[in-house]
């Protein structure tokens, strides 16, 4: 019997290892340091409930109706306010509201890339971005990451035997998975490089507001205002998923006019518009002024958990496991210095009741099999200590076998 023939795109797409691990996270007693999910115990349920009540009381009929493809005016204006707080002056007409920032990334990629085009990405890079680029048939060329973020100077020595990339994608603040933040000097250099080489640079910033130490860096779109022609070559993505609630599925993009219009046309074909109702709730919540105090609470808790995990890992593994200590975000990124294979370790750790993400999934090219990513935000301090205890037991068993 014949079976349905799937498309090239469907056949070239594989399931996300991170999403697959979520199945194990639901098992009773499992301590998950895998998925980058915000802690639901910290959601501002009362604030979102109040915002929802206001929507029903004041704009129920319009909020339940079809909406504009580029987003409701009230939310786009609210986003410009958020962008101003982050250091960038943008106009509402340059803001596109999307169903999560993942859709924004997809729309930009569809608008720029053709089959066989090259995309420059960080090494390691955000897994779901690599999935999108692969789905579109694009090729990737990687630039290394260190403690100061993407090594921008590496762009000056991209392989001569490969075409120039049409797009450069990076997570600028507390990157997933590396946890690194791009320094101001590198941001300025990157903006100038984008203009000189006519390569569109897309900055993804879902974690920048989750800072618990130090001072924030300004977005590339703010720096682009000072470089002639740069605003045409720089875009910005962000999301309410990590700072409000992922269930709302609302993200946004700040894009130059030509790219903004292209993304709107493609979005019309894909989903018509992002949930009007959820946009109204988000706009009302932002107008309430509760976000700032909510983020203060979240950052305090996340900072304490990051320190608890870092201290426990240091005590358990010493110099055998090197890892970053970011000033914000949701991840610790590490590497076993003794050659431990993180994926093999995962299989043993899973049987002992804890999971993490092997770092090899985040590499667009030759993977580092000793790399490992931990997400600390959904587990309390006691759970983090127990998780590291189980990880060390798995490690010791692996070394003794």
List, for residues 185-214, the tens digit of each pLDDT value.
999 999 999 999 999 999 999 999 999 999
pLDDT of residue 22: 76
**Residue 3 domain-assigned?**
no
Q: Identify any residues that bridge with 239 across adjacent strands, giving them in sequence order.
A: 251
**Which residue segment(s) compose the domain that 343 sits in?**
8-44+293-400
* 330-352 mean pLDDT: 96
Query: What is the rounded CA–CA span in Å between residue 214 and residue 174?
Result: 12
pLDDT of residue 27: 81
Closest by Cα among 260, 339, 227 to 98? 260
Tell me the two tokens of residue 182. Answer: 């791009």
Could you write out the DSSP letters of every residue in 174-212? S-TTT-----HHHHHHHHHHHHHHT-EEEEE-SSTT-B-
pLDDT of residue 369: 97
pLDDT reading at 350 higher than 70 = yes
Domain of residue 234, CATH code:
3.40.640.10
N-to-C CA span, the chain: 47
φ, ψ for residue 324, nearest 5 deg: -80, 160
pLDDT of residue 17: 67
pLDDT of residue 370: 97
**Residue 2 domain-assigned?**
no
pLDDT of residue 36: 87
- Which of 248, 265, 288 lies at the terminal end of a domain, its last residue? 288
**Residue 1 domain-assigned?**
no
**Residue 354 domain-assigned?**
yes
Residues 99 and 18 in one domain: no
* 94-99 mean pLDDT: 98
Q: Label residue 15 by pLDDT band (50, 70, 90).
A: low
Total number of domains constituting the chain: 2
Closest by Cα among 36, 110, 108 to 361? 36
**Residue 365 domain-assigned?**
yes
pLDDT of residue 203: 98
Longest dimension (CA), the chain: 66
pLDDT of residue 16: 65
1 vs 62, higher pLDDT: 62
pLDDT of residue 163: 87
List, for residues 117-171, the tens digit of each pLDDT value.
999 999 999 999 999 999 999 999 999 999 999 999 999 888 777 789 999 999 9
Tell me the two tokens of residue 248. Answer: 């709302």
* 28-45 mean pLDDT: 94
pLDDT reading at 81 higher than 70 = yes
Helices (H) and strands (E) counted in the chain, each on its own, are 14, 14
Q: At what angle do helices 127-135 and 100-112 cross, to 10 degrees?
A: 40
pLDDT of residue 286: 98
Query: What is the rounded CA–CA span in Å between residue 289 and residue 206?
Result: 20
List, for residues 217-240, the tens digit of each pLDDT value.
999 999 999 999 999 999 999 999
pLDDT of residue 49: 98
Domain of residue 394, CATH code:
3.90.1150.10
Write the DSSP symbol of residue 381. H
Residues 109 and 258 in one domain: yes
Query: What is the rounded CA–CA span in Å between residue 105 and residue 300?
Result: 29
Residues 301 and 367 in one domain: yes
Residues 145 and 250 in one domain: yes
Sheet architecture: strand order including 251-254 = 95-98, 251-254, 234-239, 200-204, 167-171, 118-123, 139-146, 149-150
Query: What is the rounded CA–CA span in Å between residue 194 and residue 230?
Result: 7
**Residue 362 domain-assigned?**
yes
**Three-state secondary-structure class, residue 322:** strand
Residues 301 and 243 in one domain: no
159 vs 14, higher pLDDT: 159
- Which of 241, 269, 288 lies at the terminal end of a domain, its last residue? 288
* 297-311 mean pLDDT: 98
Residues 97 and 235 in one domain: yes
Query: What is the rounded CA–CA span in Å between residue 123 and residue 143?
Result: 6
**Residue 29 domain-assigned?**
yes
- Which of 288, 308, 335 lies at the terminal end of a domain, its last residue? 288
Query: What is the rounded CA–CA span in Å between residue 344 and residue 342?
Result: 5
Residues 261 and 323 in one domain: no
**Residue 282 domain-assigned?**
yes
Residues 172 and 51 in one domain: yes
Report the chain's mean pLDDT, rounded to a whole number: 95
Query: What is the rounded CA–CA span in Å between residue 205 and residue 211?
Result: 12
pLDDT of residue 209: 98
Cβ neighbour number for residue 30 with a 10 Å cutoff: 17
Residues 75 and 40 in one domain: no
* 51-60 mean pLDDT: 98
Q: Label residue 25 by pLDDT band (50, 70, 90).
A: confident
pLDDT of residue 13: 73
Cβ neighbour number for residue 16 with a 10 Å cutoff: 14
Lowest mean pLDDT among 5-9, 140-144, 170-174: 5-9
Residues 249 and 379 in one domain: no
Residues 277 and 359 in one domain: no
pLDDT of residue 287: 97
Residues 99 and 166 in one domain: yes
């Amino acid at each position: 019997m014949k079976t349905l023939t799937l498309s090239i795109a469907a056949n070239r797409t594989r399931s996300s290892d991170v999403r697959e691990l979520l199945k194990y996270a639901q098992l009773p007693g499992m301590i998950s340091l895998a998925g980058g999910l915000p802690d639901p115990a910290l959601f501002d349920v009362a604030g979102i409930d109040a915002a929802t009540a206001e929507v029903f009381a004041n704009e129920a009929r319009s909020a339940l109706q079809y909406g504009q493809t580029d987003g409701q005016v009230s939310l786009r204006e609210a986003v410009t306010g958020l962008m101003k707080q982050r250091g960038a002056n943008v106009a509402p007409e340059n803001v596109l509201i999307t169903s999560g920032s993942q859709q924004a990334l997809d729309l930009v990629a569809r608008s720029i890339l053709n089959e066989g085009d090259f995309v420059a990405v960080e090494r390691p890079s955000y897994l779901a971005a690599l999935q999108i680029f692969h789905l579109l048939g694009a090729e990737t060329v990687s630039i290394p990451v260190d403690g100061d973020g993407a090594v921008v100077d590496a762009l000056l020595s991209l392989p001569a035997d490969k075409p120039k990339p049409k797009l450069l994608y990076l997570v600028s603040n507390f990157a997933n998975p590396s946890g690194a933040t791009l320094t101001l000097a590198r941001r300025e250099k990157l903006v100038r490089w984008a203009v000189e080489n006519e390569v569109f640079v897309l900055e993804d910033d879902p974690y920048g507001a989750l800072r618990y130490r130090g001072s924030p860096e300004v977005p590339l779109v703010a720096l682009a205002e000072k470089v002639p022609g740069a605003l045409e070559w720089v875009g910005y993505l962000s999301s309410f998923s990590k700072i409000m609630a992922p269930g709302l599925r609302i993200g946004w993009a700040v894009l130059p006019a030509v790219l903004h219009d292209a993304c709107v046309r493609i979005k019309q074909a894909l989903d018509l518009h992002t949930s009007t109702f959820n946009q109204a709730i988000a706009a009302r919540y932002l107008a309430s002024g509760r976000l700032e105090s909510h983020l203060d609470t979240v950052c305090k808790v996340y900072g304490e958990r990051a320190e608890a995990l870092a201290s426990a890992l240091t005590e358990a593994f010493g110099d055998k496991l090197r890892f970053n200590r970011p000033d914000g975000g949701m991840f610790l990124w590490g590497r076993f210095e003794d050659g431990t294979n993180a994926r093999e370790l995962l299989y043993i750790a899973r049987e002992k009741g804890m999971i993490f993400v092997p770092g090899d999934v985040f590499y667009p090219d030759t993977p580092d099999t000793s790399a490992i990513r931990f997400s600390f935000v959904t587990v309390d301090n006691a759970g983090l200590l127990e998780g590291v205890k189980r990880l060390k037991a798995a490690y010791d068993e692996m070394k003794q076998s």
